[in-house]
Amino acid sequence: MNSVKPALADPLHWFDDYYAVGDMGEGAFAIGEPLYGQCNFSYLIVGTRRALLFDTGPGVRDITPVVRALTALPVEVLPSHLHFDHTGNLHRFGDIALPDLPQLRSQVHGGLFALKFYQSLGFVEGFNRLPFRVSRWLAPGSTIDLGDRRLQLISVPGHTPESVVLFDLGANRLYAGDFIYPTDIYAFLPGADLADYAASARRVDAMLNDGTRIHGAHGCDRPSVVDVPTLKRSDVRALASALTRAATTAGPVGKGWFPRTLPVNERMTLLATYPWMSR
């Protein structure tokens, strides 16, 4: 973990000596971890009746004091996917939702959801896989009603099989998790699928408009200042194009180093095509 605090761009400010928080308006708050190597961002969306926390970070620090300082409403937590850097604080919450997928339902034993070894990847940085209780299963395509704030849950397999994004149609915002973010995008980890990822990108692009603001789960792409990671529809189109090229050229295992590096645009690079990703 870094020890020197970087500069923060508006609307971010330091909450304490670790977390940065930004009020993005329209009931949305960015919760960043600029001192953590992957510079994670989680998002709290607040309605009139309840709130939803999208991702929880790796669990280097307890995120609940930040959330409680931002809202007194009941908070439901939904991870964008199950990698360790997005699920590290899940066990601290009593109301946890997951996408209603058969493969995830099968991981509940004795009332507890157990993360799989390669599903979590926590061993990479020494994080434990902590079990948790699922309080609600959300059907892909369903609407999450927070009271005066509605979010559509969209399944986007590719980065992982269970990856989801949230679309706030009222605010014209997409909360993207690791589906897209402005830096190196990993598309070669266990469970990844380039063809599925490309199809998800094309489907999401068709749902957006040129005014949609997209907020990813990792930032710090500019070393001099940390900002809320924000992208545009054109970035999704560029990602879809790069993923389609990568899926087409993956083929049988060939020579050379993996993962292959494929430029997406001036802000993003796709790390792609490990052998297991070929169909």
Convert the pLDDT of each residue in 78-88 to its tens digit. 999 999 999 99
Which position has the token pair 């189109």?
Answer: 237
Q: Does 149 have pLDDT greater than 70?
A: yes
Fold of 7-239: Metallo-beta-lactamase; Chain A (3.60.15)
Which pLDDT score is estimated for 253?
38
Q: Is 150 helix (H, G, I), strand (E, B) or coil?
A: strand
Place of tokens 């510079």: 39
Q: What is the pLDDT of residue 260?
A: 83
Euclidean distance between CA atoms 186 and 225, whole angstroms: 23
In this structure, what is the dihedral angle of CA atoms 33, 19, 31, 156, given to the nearest 10 degrees? 30
Would you state the pLDDT for residue 252?
43
Strands 213-216 and 230-231: antiparallel
pTM of the complete model beyond 0.75: yes
Q: At what angle do helices 233-250 and 194-207 cross, to 10 degrees?
A: 160
* Cβ-based neighbours of 255, under 8 Å, separated by 6 or more: none
| 226-237 pLDDT tens trace | 999 999 999 999
Q: Is the pLDDT of residue 250 over 90?
A: no
CB 120 within 8 A of CB 114: no
Residue 111 has pLDDT above 60, yes or no: yes
* 257 has pLDDT over 70: no
